Structure 1
Amino acid sequence: MRLVLAEDAAVVREGLAGLLTDRGMEVAAAVGDAEALLAAVERTRPDAVVADIRMPPTHRDEGLRAAAELRRRHPGLGILLFSQYIETGYAHSLLADGPAGIGYLLKDRVLDVDDFIDALHRVVAGGTALDPDVIARLLRAGPSLAVLTPREHEALGLMAEGLTNAAIARRMGISQRAVEKHTAALFDKLEIPRTTATHRRVQAVLHYLGEGRG
């Protein structure tokens, strides 16, 4: 697996690069800011990016904005972001365009090498890797997925893969209108508030991942 690593703290950056190299991965570039990250991806064409959300110059959301730009330029690129803090707003922004190929871990979780490597493999394969503590913070206590019918559960699982309603309809062998009915029903059963359609899909996927299916 070929990676680009972005972390402004040199000691952490070098430690992560060494850890990943020891696990047989190729660190094509290790950089310290978002601008350098964008340039390194264009230059090296990696399989995935591992980046801190907070980087220079403001140490706020530079990594997140770089990730959004990379998703636009390279739709198949796996992106695994990490942060010292649980940033609920950032997590929603990260998932808004679909959860496929996206990961968000707390820095403490990165120290669990096996979990970290597993998360990397999942995002490169087009899956999702969200820190359990992030999911817990994002979700209020609510109904279990057991309230869903088998077809609603199937539709939710496909939604968690990042499929559109049209793609879900093809996979399930039903009409797009039927998919819309299933998704509307599962939103209501999971008590997901009526805000934007994108927000509701993100919340539904978080429910799915929160019950151990991520």
Structure 2
Amino acid sequence: MRIVIAEDLFLLRDGLVRLVEAYGHSVVAAVGTGPATLEALLSTRPDVAIVDVRLPPTLSDEGLQAALAARREVPGLPVLILSQHVQQLYARELLADGHGGVGYQLKDRVLDADQFMDAVSRVAEGGTALDPAVVAKLLGRPRRADPLATLTERERSVLALMAEGLSNSAIAGRLFLSEGAISKYTTTIFAKLGVAADDDTNRRVRAVLTYLSAGAQHDQ
């Protein structure tokens, strides 16, 4: 994969570069400011970008805004956001365009290199890789007008794990159910959320985005 890394702390940026290259991928740009991030994303159009939320010059949300601006120019450009904290507004903005290829990981909850690079790969392939804490923060109490109101608690559990990027097999293991049972749940979920027949990856992403976007609106 061709990867852009945007992180203002030199040691962390250098560590990410070394990690990515150790897994056989190419870093096409490693930058440390918001403007440089946007320029790198648009000029290189990487397979995936790893972007810190807060970058100079103001250390507020320049990284996120650069990623959003790039995705407006290149719809679906895969972006994995790194953050110290769960910021509901940031996650909601990232999901708002309705495209896949998005991730939001908390820095202090990335436990090992394999876990992190697996998340990077899922985002590059057009999927989602959201930290469970981010999923939990986005989901409010369902209201009758929301698509979420039609889902059972078990279906919500399945879809929450789908948002983390887990496969049917992995979800089955997490919930102690058969893979066949999870397949039936996903089919029902797609129907309830109005996700039309398509290839399985696209349906999963669209179901997840519908789910999380609806959940995020509860706290507006």
TM-score by length of 1: 0.70
Residue type of the alignment partner of 1:19: L
Of 213, 216, 219, the residue aligned with 1:202 is 213
Partners of 1:146 and 1:87 in 2: CA distance: 25
* Cross-structure match for 1:144: 153
Q: Structure 1 residue 153: deviation in Å?
A: 0.8
Aligned partner of 1:179 in structure 2 is: none
Indicate whether 1:155 and 2:191 are aligned.
yes
| CA distance 1:203–1:145, shift in 2 (3 Å) | farther
Q: Which runs of 5+ in 2 are unaligned?
A: 143-151, 159-183, 200-208
State the aligned residue count: 172
| Percentage of identical aligned residues | 46
Partners in 1 of 2:3 and 2:69 — Cα distance? Answer: 17
Q: CA RMSD in A?
A: 3.0
Is the partner of 1:46 in helix, strand or coil? coil
For residue 57 of structure 1, what is the aligned residue in structure 2? 57
Give the drift of 1:139. Answer: 2.4
Counterpart code for 2:153: S
* Cα 1:135/1:122, change in 2 over 3 Å: same
Name the CA distance, whole Å, in 2 between partners of 1:203 and 1:131.
18
Q: Which residue is equivalent to 1:10?
A: 10
Secondary structure, aligned partner of 2:29: strand
Deviation at 1:123, TM superposition (A): 0.9
Distance in 1 separating the partners of 2:107 and 2:212:
26
Q: What is the 5 A alignment of 1:1-214?
A: 1-98=1-98, 100-140=100-140, 144-146=153-155, 152-155=188-191, 168-169=195-196, 171=198, 202-203=213-214
Q: Which runs of 4+ in 1 moved over 3 A?
A: 140-143, 145-152, 168-172, 198-201
- Give the Cα–Cα distance (whole angstroms) in 2 for the partners of residues 21 and 129 of structure 1: 21
Deviations 1:128-185 (A, max 9, x none): 11001111222247751448996651236xx6xxxxx6xx34549xxxxxxxxxxxxx
Q: Is the 8 Å Cα contact of residues 9 and 32 (structure 1) preserved in structure 2?
A: yes
SS at match of 1:29: strand
Q: Does the CA-based 8 Å contact 2:101-2:125 persist in structure 1?
A: yes
1:122 Cα shift? 0.9
1:15 partner amino acid? G
Gaps of 5+ in 1: 160-164, 173-197, 206-214
Tell me which amino acid in the other structure corresponds to 1:203. A
Amino acid at match of 1:109: R
Measured in 2, the distance between the counterparts of 1:99 and 1:127 equals: 9
8 A Cα contact 2:5 2:29, kept in partner: yes
SS of the residue corresponding to residue 17 of structure 1 reads helix
Q: Which amino acid aligns with 1:144?
A: E
Gap change, CA 1:141 and 1:74, over 3 Å in 2: same
Q: 1:61 to 1:21 in 2, by over 3 A?
A: same
